[in-house]
Amino acid sequence: MATLTRAESPTPAAGPRPKAGAPDAAAPDAEAAASDPALTPDDRLALYRFLVQMRAIEERGVALYKQGKVPGSFYDGRGQEAISVGATFALGPDDVVCSPLIRDLGAHLVRGTDVTEILRHYMGRQNALSHGREGNVHFGDRARGVVGMVSMLPDMMVVAVGLAMAFRMRGERRVALSFFGDGATSRGDWHEAMNWAGVRKEPVVFVCENNGLAYSTPSDRQFVVGPAERAAGYGVASTTVDGNDVEAVHAAVHAARLRALAGDGPTLVEARTMRMHGHGAHDDQRYVDPELLASWTPKDPLTRYDARLTEQGVDTAAVRERVAAELEQAVTVALTAPLPDPAVATSDVFCAGEPATLGRGDAPWSFHSPEAAA
Amino acid sequence: MATLTRAESPTPAAGPRPKAGAPDAAAPDAEAAASDPALTPDDRLALYRFLVQMRAIEERGVALYKQGKVPGSFYDGRGQEAISVGATFALGPDDVVCSPLIRDLGAHLVRGTDVTEILRHYMGRQNALSHGREGNVHFGDRARGVVGMVSMLPDMMVVAVGLAMAFRMRGERRVALSFFGDGATSRGDWHEAMNWAGVRKEPVVFVCENNGLAYSTPSDRQFVVGPAERAAGYGVASTTVDGNDVEAVHAAVHAARLRALAGDGPTLVEARTMRMHGHGAHDDQRYVDPELLASWTPKDPLTRYDARLTEQGVDTAAVRERVAAELEQAVTVALTAPLPDPAVATSDVFCAGEPATLGRGDAPWSFHSPEAAA
Amino acid sequence: MSTMTYLQAITDGLRTEMRQDERVFVLGEDVGAFGGAFKATAGLYDEFGADRVQDTPIAESAIIGASVGAALAGLRPVAEMQFSDFVACGFDQLVNVAGKMHYRTGLAVPMVLRLPTGGGFAGGPFHSQNPEAWFMHAPGLKVVAPSTPADAKGLLMSALRDPNPVCFLEHKNLYRRQKGEVPEGTHLEPFEARVVRAGEELTIVAYGAMVHAALAAADTFEPGRVEVLDLRSLVPLDEEAILASVRRTSKVLIVDEANETCAAGAQVAALVADRAFSDLDGPVRRIATPDVPIPFSPTLEASVLPTPDRIAEAARELLAY
Amino acid sequence: MSTMTYLQAITDGLRTEMRQDERVFVLGEDVGAFGGAFKATAGLYDEFGADRVQDTPIAESAIIGASVGAALAGLRPVAEMQFSDFVACGFDQLVNVAGKMHYRTGLAVPMVLRLPTGGGFAGGPFHSQNPEAWFMHAPGLKVVAPSTPADAKGLLMSALRDPNPVCFLEHKNLYRRQKGEVPEGTHLEPFEARVVRAGEELTIVAYGAMVHAALAAADTFEPGRVEVLDLRSLVPLDEEAILASVRRTSKVLIVDEANETCAAGAQVAALVADRAFSDLDGPVRRIATPDVPIPFSPTLEASVLPTPDRIAEAARELLAY
Ligand SMILES: Cc1ncc(C[n+]2csc(CCOP(=O)(O)OP(=O)(O)O)c2C)c(N)n1
Ligand SMILES: Cc1ncc(C[n+]2csc(CCOP(=O)(O)OP(=O)(O)O)c2C)c(N)n1
Ligand SMILES: [Mg+2]
Ligand SMILES: [Mg+2]
């Protein structure tokens, strides 16, 4: 008889997982302590590295797109890197990200998804994430507890609520994390997700990336009252943070996660930010006031964090160099990847065997993985 | 060249309209005065008559349903009559009701829709409202500015927003009125309608019939925060009234209408009430606590209004008798109506000629129709 | 074996699997203590409790989307649309999220969407629809439509064990009218067609409630002339069973309660016209509901839904062709 | 006449009618100053202002539902889905509210829903769909799909004057690739099919982008052998034009970019197999995209979408039948 797995961890992902932490069900004390989420120097370094890595990959991605090596379209999260990185860094390995969106490459990096695979995926080559069936940031990494997004915004919030519901029903200490943009709040599914999560007190954390724009349309044509304020109408807790401060985002999501684990229900974390590039690589965003953009340049999440860490004596240049070198290596490898076998175009529409389960993601934060931080 | 009709009245409906008032664009002073919506004795009599009529028709409808004369299903609004009657009574003739729902027969009666036609419609006989293509309260009366509901809740709120948008774009002094139940607030379309109306400041009035139940499901499984409080999250004004007090509902909707006409945007009027019958005639609602029901019995909107008017010297028994006699007459006529010609089953899926426009409804309230009150 | 209605067989299938597999849970509007608008979940709440028999808000998109999430987490949700007509409100989650998940990400979505469908009881334009062709045109969804109590249980239990999203079309008009022997305990039926009346001269292809209309029509001919094939599953479509039957009889009449254009029947007709063309001795005939919303008035409704009479008449014409 | 792209012809059709009929207005995501994701509304905001060229919230259901309301009030809304794929998010308002309104209430819903459709540019599973069969299976919606710049304008202007909801499928892959002569000023095309290449031995039925693939395939045969029929309108479907062509040529190949099952092509095949059966000298063949989400990688996408080569091969087989 198949049984409901109560408080057990899901099947661990296959393959070597250098930084995977202990399941947090096993570390309640560390968590309690972490309500003051003091980050260690290693954590800071890791955060910085993910920020740099996200920016570097996306800059390279735009270039590859312009060279015709990336088909279709290309979207990036320039200026918003701190959100996906900071938020995902607050998760435990068994938590599920459902889903990172087009500005959220950092979430995939934090969870440990392989960069070469990501590049192959972007390029529509053979790859383990999507087999070429999907493109741009539309990928997930099943083995690392990341569910790939769909385009329809914000559908995946609803799915995250369903995941959280399952966690709660099974008594598991896990949360689901879902990202959404300010523009996506106008859609009915946003409401259905918020309402359901609120009425059921599901252990879910919603992270709003409020960059004031939905493609070309500014917030004042989208809503009158901001997302965080609206949360109250659903019995959902909310908090607003500086989305360009990676530690602030991390702290807010960390607190939200603990709240969810404590059975206190969902939280909406609104991260205020600015989209520094066009909607996609095709968009010069000339509709955005250059002065507004200029006013955000000093708030760049990388520059700011760089300054902070440099002050703390970190050799940030070394990090940047290492990331750059690793990336060039990955690009070189990815460019040699073959195109997918046309047979995969028509296979796997249906699942034939046992469903594959969601695996565990990397959780590099020391409070969740003391042994990894040692 | 076809032009946009600015501030003109829509085409008046054909046929004699005994109580149709002046278009309110012509009576701004009357309206201003009506911000203290003192009702005349005639108004009160009319309100009472509509309450009695709604109850009488629905009681007869249930009986006819049980006799097999009404096919399909039958829904009524017992205990909630004051809401549709009071709200619709506050409208001007050019305003549009989009749409009365299954508890809102009173809206149709106030607008002047013929009772015999309604009965024929219920019975699936030849009738001018639906030609037998629709059943139960799924009818509208185009000629009286009433758009029939669809089952999908609360889709018609969105449509009402579109109507209001058109009124605003053309500079017309008209509002759209839409009803919805507490349960319907969980659906995405509720959110999209509220958000759109709020962000565009459309001249629309939303009337929430909060009876604490969606079919068998109580409010605490539907939402954490009530509809009126939620309105603030959309920049939509709100007010909560005793839904069993026809004058209170009227006053609130009257104020909301003036607000909309003044360009101040939408209002949500939450009318608190209790559904005294099952969801439909098939439902014995044994899932409702009998004590709860009993506690609402003294609040019956008819009994209460009856007492009030009796105190004011009105011969309410005479009204009830007249309504009953008229109804029996209408039932007799309706029962002789032939079944529809099967040809109408397949005709009119598409509109062939010029679209028929929405006509003007009755607006018996003296403040809107001084001449009719005279 | 015990005798049950189609509706009881559905409840029995749910109950049987819920007892065996703790991952299976039910959610939908009023499915809890109330037992659902049609009482398909009657008694389950008492036996399995509020977590496994969940009343939801009126939110079809969330019902489907949350089911997807729960399925990804390893549960086996069975979501009910109060009437199949309301699936339009959750269409996006169904076709874009559930249907495409496995192909795109490798994750499976083992969920069942129960859809009370069909007309014939004065339900009108919003309580009588047959939406299956929409699902058939959306890759990644399985679609089944039982016609008998035994198949209702057997296909449902198979759906509950299928690792894919399955749209389970239960015809409201069969709920209480169809009674029959239903195997006790686990009963699994494959997603395949079945010949329910053998015949040599004409194949009538049908599914759901139309199987009974087709049988009634077949009964007006001498035994052995008209074959009735019950598709039972629309995705996967049992193409070989259809082709085998038509090749043998050389004539085909396809019956569909759904609106005619682009219906399941159109797909069957296209299949036959392509792959059994050389065996055909007459045109590929269809009977379906014309492209109109289903009217409320019983006389109007009866004039558009396929009836045994209309089917028999078309069969007669084809046999004489 | 002036030479325009398919995209420019759409803009021109909108502009022309907006100048003539103040009731016509445009709404959708980013359609205002930005001119829309594909620039179909470029310049209209400057000419007609914010009320008649409205940026909306990301709310497909409200875009469609509010358009219904505006249409009921006597305006002529033209709503844009940023990609046709997103119509699933507003499906209910389209099929249940817009499509059934006239039949149920006598009120008309004169609105146009512009839907950028189709694949061929690595758009992946959510930016490449062809949803027209869903609409065809929903009574009360008209469905048109132009293949040329002149038809894009002509069918659009006819749609703008139609008193019904019209789903206007504009194929993204034709936007900039198709150039042609387009009549200036008012240009109205009827919702009827047109023979775009005359032939005697085989009819290829196609619409939208597939017309060009069909023409390329037809070009590989001697002139006069292969006829290409451009449906242009799917609802109403020009049944007589289809039947007349097939009866003359006696063979038919139906091409569809949409997923195969229950597609428009299935309906055409069913029609032919029923009403032109006795004139057929070969099986009713179809080419369509298999039932898979449209994959992203160009090699994968090219392997599933119908191509001139695949069409020509099927045509060759049929001609030899
Ligand atoms: C339902 C839906 N409609 C339209 C789109 C097209 N679209 C893609 S991104 C976007 C803007 C999203 O804005 P927001 O949610 O604020 O996210 P941001 O791009 O600013 O991060 C739009 C309209 C979509 N993806 N989904
Ligand atoms: C979208 C949708 N889903 C389900 C239903 C079935 N249904 C009809 S009425 C009803 C309950 C509605 O509750 P509420 O909105 O509070 O209205 P009330 O009946 O209490 O007046 C339900 C679930 C529906 N009409 N529409
Ligand atoms: Mg944004
Ligand atoms: Mg209610």
**Residues in C touching B152 (Cβ below 8 Å):** 85-86, 88-89, 126
Confidence of residue A366 (pLDDT cuts 50, 70, 90): confident
Rounded Cα distance between D141 and B357, Å, is 20
Contact D296 A130 (CB under 8 A): yes
Query: In this predicted structure, what is the pLDDT of residue B38?
Result: 82
- Nearest CA to A186 out of C93, B194, B162 is that of B194
Contacts of C263 in chain D (CB under 8 A): 137, 262
Hey, what are B258's tokens?
């003036």
For residue A67, give how far its alpha carbon lies from the nearest alpha carbon of chain C (Å): 26
Element (H, E) at D218: helix D209-218
B194 touches chain D (CB under 8 A): no
Among B190, B221, B233, beta carbon nearest to A229:
B233
What does the pLDDT average to over C17-37? Answer: 98
The reply to whether B143 touches chain D by the CB within 8 Å rule is no
Task: Determine, for residues C68 and A159 on separate chains, whether the beta-carbon distance falls below 8 Å.
Answer: yes
CA distance A79 to chain C (A): 28
What whole-number distance in Å separates Cα of residue A195 and Cα of residue C60? 13
Shortest Cα distance, chain D CAs vs residue A257, angstroms:
29
In single-letter form, the type of residue at position C219 comes to: D
Distance, CA of C153 to CA of B301 (rounded, Å): 48
A345, with CB counted inside 10 A (0-12, 13-18, 19+), is buried
| Residues, CB-to-ion distance under 5 Å, ligand 3 | A 181-183, 211, 213
Under CATH, which architecture does the B40-339 domain have? 3-Layer(aba) Sandwich (3.40)
Q: Rounded mean pLDDT of A52-57? A: 98
State pLDDT tens for residues A277-308: 999 999 999 999 999 999 999 999 999 999 99
Residues of C marked as catalytic: 127
What residue's CA is closest to ligand 1, atom 11? A214
Q: Is the pLDDT of residue A186 over 60?
A: yes
DSSP assignments along A130-162, one per residue: TTTSS-TT---BGGGTBPPP-SSTTHHHHHHHH
Mean pLDDT of B104-129: 98
**Subunits close to D (at least 3 CB pairs below 8 A):** A, B, C
Residue B16 confidence (pLDDT) above 70: no
Strands A204-210 and A213-214: unpaired
**What spacing in Å lies between the alpha carbon of D34 and ligand 1's midpoint?**
15
A275 lines ligand 1 (CB under 6 A): yes
> Ligand 4 being an ion, which residues bring their Cβ within 5 A of it?
B 181-183, 211, 213
Cβ neighbours of residue C316 closer than 8 Å, sequence gap 6 or more: none
Average of per-residue pLDDT values in chain A: 90
Q: What is the ipTM of this complex?
A: 0.96
Show the CA angle centred on residue D213, arms to residues D209 and D218, nearest 5°.
140
Residue A4 pLDDT > 60: no
Answer yes or no: is pLDDT of C47 > 50: yes
Question: Do the chains contact at B134 and C296, CB–CB below 8 Å?
Answer: yes
Domains and CATH numbers, chain D: 2-182 (3.40.50.970), 194-319 (3.40.50.920)
* Ligand 4 center from residue C59 Cα (angstroms): 14
Residue from B153, B221, B273 whose mutation best tests the ligand 2 pocket (most atoms within 8 A of CB): B153
Residues B351-371: tens digit of each pLDDT: 999 999 999 999 998 775 443
How far D281 CA lies from chain C's nearest CA (Å)? Answer: 9
Q: Tell me the percentage of chain D whose pLDDT exceeds 90.
A: 100
A8-25 pLDDT tens trace: 333 333 333 333 333 333
Q: Is the pLDDT of residue B1 over 80?
A: no
B219 touches chain A (CB under 8 A): no
Residue of D262, D271, D277, D317 best to disrupt the C interface, most CBs of C under 10 A: D262
**CB B10 to CB D97 under 8 A?**
no
With beta carbons under 8 A apart, name residues in chain B contacting A223.
195, 198-199, 234-235
For residue A99, give both structure tokens.
């889903």
Any C CB within 8 A of A152 CB: yes
The pLDDT value recorded for residue A368 is: 59
**Ligand found nearest the CA of A214:** 1
Tokens standing for D309? 């080569």
Residue B32: pLDDT above 90? Answer: no
**pLDDT tens digits, A215-271:** 999 999 999 999 999 999 999 999 999 999 999 999 999 999 999 999 999 999 999
**pLDDT for position B33:** 35
Between residues B371 and D239, the one the model is more confident about: D239
Residue D29 CB less than 6 A away from ligand 1: yes
- What is the average per-residue pLDDT within D232-243? 98
The answer, yes or no, to whether residue A5 has pLDDT greater than 50, is no
Average per-residue pLDDT for chain D = 98
Write out chain A residues lying below 8 Å of B221, CB-based: 199
Task: Report chain B residues whose CB lies below 8 A from the CB of C45.
Answer: none
At A234 the pLDDT is: 98
Q: What is the pLDDT of residues A17-46, one digit of tens each?
A: 333 333 333 333 333 333 446 899 999 999
Whole-angstrom Cα distance, residue D223 to residue C96?
43
D55 CA to centre of ligand 1 in angstroms: 13
For residue D105, what pLDDT is reported? 98
Question: Does the CB of B9 have a partner CB in chain C at under 8 Å?
Answer: no
CA of residue C62 relative to chain centroid, distance: 23
Q: What is the DSSP string of D73-117?
A: TT-EEEEE-SSGGGGGGGHHIIIIIITTHHHHHS-----EEEEEE
Instruction: Give the separation between CA C115 and CA C164, rounded to whole angstroms.
Output: 16
